[in-house]
């Protein structure tokens, strides 16, 4: 299974809106716990996402991934909605952001005009807290991903973090772009070459008729977007 496919599946997990997972549980264990839950395996509101994951976790590289650093347990608001998934040997770490959450619609609009928004800053704070706590090194594979607003956050973190040398790749799934002010700020802060070096770590996975990824000004190199 490719890294892109794993990222897509982890983004699917985020839409389960399941906030009771135990730290360190494998994704397969979580899915098994939800097999009789009325909202999931019981055929309720999240049955679609559940069935996708139920099949996916049979693959070892998916099922063995262990959840950690759930933002809801770290004092962040529900809008931040992020967590990590790591391989058992911790050689691969995925930082995953959910799409638009409670109270974030206004923030989406502000992101089209401002250098950064509160939710951008919360996503960045979360990421850097995780990197510090985990003691991430260059020997580990660090992936940032998210869907829609989560994809926008993943891009922002890749562009703004002080730990850019530790970030290997960002997969933005239908994530919107940014304001002219934000892009100008990055170029003035880093210089054109360093700005481009950061954008080159970002890959877009977009629906062919998606109407979110076209919002704002895109920073993902065109040749790195898959429709």
pLDDT, tens digit (0-9, with 9 covering 90-100), for 29-61? 999 999 999 999 999 999 999 999 999 999 999
Size of the chain, expressed as the number of residues it contains: 227
**Rounded to 10 degrees, what is the CA torsion of 178, 180, 182, 187?**
120
pLDDT value at residue 103: 73
- What does DSSP say about strands 141-147 and 169-173: parallel, antiparallel, or unpaired? parallel
Q: Which residues in the chain land under pLDDT 70? A: none
pLDDT computed for residue 78 by the predictor: 86
The alpha carbon of 161 is separated from its chain's Cα centroid by a whole number of angstroms, namely 14
Which residue is associated with the tokens 């097999």?
Answer: 35
Bridge partners (DSSP) listed for residue 225? 204
Q: Say whether pTM exceeds 0.85.
A: yes
Among residues 107, 100, 34, the alpha carbon closest in space to that of 67 is found at: 34
Q: Are strands 225-226 and 141-147 parallel, antiparallel or unpaired?
A: unpaired
Helix spans in the chain (H): 3-14, 27-33, 47-56, 60-63, 105-110, 118-134, 149-160, 180-190, 192-199
In degrees to the nearest 10, what's the CA dihedral of 27, 32, 37, 38? 90
Please give the structure tokens belonging to residue 161: 């973090």
Dihedral angle at the C-alpha atoms of 201, 95, 186, 210, nearest 10 degrees? Answer: 70
Contacts (Cβ under 8 Å, ≥6 apart) of 91: 139, 140, 141
| pLDDT for position 104 | 83
* Eight-state DSSP code of residue 21: P
Q: What is the pLDDT of residue 204?
A: 98
């Amino acid at each position: 299974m490719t890294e892109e496919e794993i990222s897509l599946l982890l983004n699917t997990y985020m839409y389960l809106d399941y906030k009771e997972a135990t730290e360190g549980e494998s994704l397969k264990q979580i899915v098994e716990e939800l097999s009789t839950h009325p909202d999931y395996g019981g055929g309720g509101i999240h049955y679609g996402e559940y069935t996708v994951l139920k099949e996916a976790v049979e693959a070892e590289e998916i099922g063995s991934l262990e959840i950690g650093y759930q933002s809801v347990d770290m004092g962040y608001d529900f809008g931040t909605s992020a967590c990590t998934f790591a391989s058992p040997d911790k050689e691969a770490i995925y930082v995953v952001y959910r799409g638009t959450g409670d109270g974030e619609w206004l923030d989406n609009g502000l992101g089209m005009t401002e250098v950064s928004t509160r939710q951008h800053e919360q996503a960045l704070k979360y990421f850097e807290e995780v990197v510090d706590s985990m003691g991430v090194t260059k020997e580990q594979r660090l992936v940032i991903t998210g869907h829609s607003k989560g994809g926008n956050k993943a891009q922002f973190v890749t562009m703004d973090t002080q730990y850019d040398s530790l970030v290997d790749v960002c997969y933005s799934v239908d994530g919107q772009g940014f304001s002219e002010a934000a892009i100008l700020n990055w170029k003035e802060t880093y210089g054109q070459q360093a700005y481009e070096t950061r954008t080159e770590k970002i890959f877009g996975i977009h629906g062919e008729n998606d109407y979110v990824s076209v919002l704002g000004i895109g920073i993902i190199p065109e040749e790195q977007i898959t429709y």
